């Protein structure tokens, strides 16, 4: 194969990451040397498969027959009235099998792993959503599945632990450090270093060393591809605004990726504003973070003045992470996507309003995008078409909300 001559870099990241896995200044691969060969192997296998007709057919068949794609696009006029004078369409990732967008990536990576001859899958999970999606994909494809989870998270998310076990996965409690997500990630990496010949590590968001941010983005980009087709049918044009919540950033880049080339589309990512702007009280990496390296990638990271990774807080577990996908860091830097945040309180308000007004209980993560619209929607031009990614359903959050309301009454 011959190298293509380098074209000047457009603000669209269609041609990114580069060979070394960089999106401008961000991304790359900061890992122990023992993993370099495995990441190269995964990169090569993935690039080959994504051009392979048979692979794409099988993935499309699974997405249609098992995941339930295409997901509907639902107009939400009664909720939109609370926000402003625009038309609001929800991309219903909450209607996917297992209740969120994470399954799009889990089945994609599991299929690549199986075709690579890997029989064992490992993953880490915080709230349990990615663990459940991975365990589901492994059951479907007959792969062994081991999920690392901090002991604190296991206690908080008992139901998801039970779900994973029902699906045939082994859930390994992690008792080191703060016994939460970042400790589970460390354990999963340790396992991978030891068992790299037989094992593939399924990462759950557009994070980690190259090629993960690219692979996860590609598998999630089906969201925006479908939304553009659905909007063309419904309103005869591309949307004026696209908005999504940003944890690691996979559901957001999934919605945005195919829209980047349409310069007229305003794109908004919403992070967790938590309790307020003090370090430790939120997970707003763009307003509160600095460039740094965490879990194998260079991106915007919440850290103190000495470079210590800071604690984070969010009402929604899925947004509660100190770093963000490197492609988002790049798209923010070049000014293609705006990033704002939404507080716990406002997200909670949106959670209730969407439930009452539209009969859809949204995930607390997705509620952040809706909360931002409630607060700022008056600035969006009358008659605009807005598409918001409803990344997941709120059933998983109902016990937490119930406990919260009980405390307040």
Ligand X SMILES: *Cc1c(COP(=O)(O)O)cnc(C)c1O
Binding positions for ligand X, rule: CB under 6 A: 100, 102, 129, 205, 245-252, 318-319, 363, 365-366, 391-392
Structure tokens at 296: 């194998």
Q: How far is the CB of 366 from ligand X (least distance, A)?
A: 6
What are the φ and ψ backbone dihedral angles of 160, each rounded to 5 degrees? -70, -35
In whole angstroms, the minimum distance from the beta carbon of 325 to ligand X comes to 7
Choice among 299, 366, 391, 396 that is catalytic: 391
Nearest approach in angstroms of CB 321 to ligand X is 8
Q: Are residues 161 and 128 in contact, defined by beta-carbon separation less than 8 angstroms?
A: yes
CB closer to ligand X out of 118 and 368? 368
For the chain, state the CA radius of gyration. 20
**C-alpha to C-alpha distances, 163 to 121, 302, 324, nearest whole angstrom:** 17, 32, 28
Residue at shortest CB range from ligand X: 392
Residue 49 CA to its chain's centroid (Å): 22
Structure tokens at 366: 């997705």
Least separation in angstroms between residue 145's CB and ligand X is 18
Cβ nearer to ligand X, comparing 158 with 304: 158
Find the shortest distance in angstroms from Cβ 400 to ligand X.
Answer: 13
Kindly tell me which of 80 and 319 has the beta carbon lying closer to ligand X. Answer: 319
* Smallest distance, ligand X to C-beta of residue 124, A: 12
| Catalytic residue chosen out of the listed positions 124, 271, 327, 358 | 124
Interatomic CA distance for residues 55 and 362, integer angstroms: 33
Which long-range CB contacts under 8 A does 54-61 form with residues at least 24 apart? 55/111, 55/112, 55/115, 58/111, 59/107, 59/108, 59/111
For ligand X, the closer of residues 358 and 365 by Cβ is 365
Distance between CA atoms of 254 and 395, rounded to whole angstroms?
A: 22
Provide the minimum distance between the beta carbon of 135 and ligand X in the complex, in angstroms, as a whole number.
Answer: 14
Is beta strand 87-92 parallel, antiparallel or unpaired with respect to 73-75?
A: antiparallel
Structure tokens at 37: 């060969």
Query: Judged by CB, which is closer to ligand X: 288, or 318?
Result: 318
Nearer to ligand X, 224 or 249 (CB): 249
Shortest distance (Å) from residue 262 CB to ligand X: 21
124 is known as an active-site residue = yes
Active site residue 391: yes
367 is catalytic: no
Give CA–CA dist 44/27, Å, rounded. 18
Specify whether the CB–CB gap between 191 and 124 falls below 8 A: no
Q: Which residues are catalytic?
A: 102, 124, 391
């Amino acid at each position: 194969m011959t190298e293509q001559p380098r074209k000047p870099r457009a603000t669209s990241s269609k041609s990114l990451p580069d060979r070394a896995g960089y999106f401008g200044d961000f991304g790359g691969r900061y890992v122990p040397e023992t993993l370099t060969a495995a990441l190269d192997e995964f990169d090569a296998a993935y690039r080959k498969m994504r051009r392979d007709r048979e692979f794409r057919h099988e993935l499309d068949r699974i997405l249609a027959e098992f995941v339930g794609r295409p997901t509907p696009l639902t107009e939400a006029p009664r909720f939109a009235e609370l926000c402003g004078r625009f038309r609001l369409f929800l991309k219903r990732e909450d209607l996917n099998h297992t209740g969120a967008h994470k399954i799009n990536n889990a089945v994609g990576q599991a299929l690549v792993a199986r075709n690579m001859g890997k029989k064992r899958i490992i993953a880490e999970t915080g709230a349990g959503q990615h663990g459940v999606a991975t365990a589901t994909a492994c059951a479907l494809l007959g792969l062994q599945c081991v999920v690392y989870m901090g002991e604190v998270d296991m206690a908080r998310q008992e139901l998801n632990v039970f779900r994973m076990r029902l699906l045939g996965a082994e859930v390994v409690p992690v008792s080191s450090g703060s016994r939460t997500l970042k400790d589970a990630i460390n354990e999963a990496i340790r396992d991978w270093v030891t068992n790299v010949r037989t094992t593939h590590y399924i990462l759950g968001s557009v994070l980690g060393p190259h090629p993960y941010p690219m692979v996860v983005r590609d598998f999630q980009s089906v969201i925006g591809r479908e939304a553009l087709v659905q909007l063309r049918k419904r309103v005869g044009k591309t949307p004026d605004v696209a908005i999504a919540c940003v944890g690691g950033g996979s559901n957001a880049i999934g919605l945005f990726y195919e829209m980047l080339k349409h310069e007229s589309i305003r794109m908004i990512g919403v992070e967790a504003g938590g309790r307020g702007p003090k370090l430790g009280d939120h997970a707003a990496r763009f307003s509160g973070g600095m460039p740094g390296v965490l879990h194998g990638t260079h991106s915007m990271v919440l850290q103190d003045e000495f470079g210590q990774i800071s604690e984070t807080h969010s009402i929604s577990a899925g947004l509660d992470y100190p770093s963000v996908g490197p492609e988002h860091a790049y798209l923010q830097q070049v000014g293609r996507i705006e990033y704002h945040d939404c507080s716990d309180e406002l997200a909670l308000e949106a959670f209730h309003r969407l439930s009452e007004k539209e009969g859809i209980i949204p995930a607390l993560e997705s509620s952040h995008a809706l909360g931002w619209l409630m607060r700022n929607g008056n600035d969006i031009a009358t008659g605009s078409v807005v598409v918001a990614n409803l990344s997941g359903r709120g059933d998983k959050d109902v016990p937490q909300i119930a406990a919260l309301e009980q405390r307040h009454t």
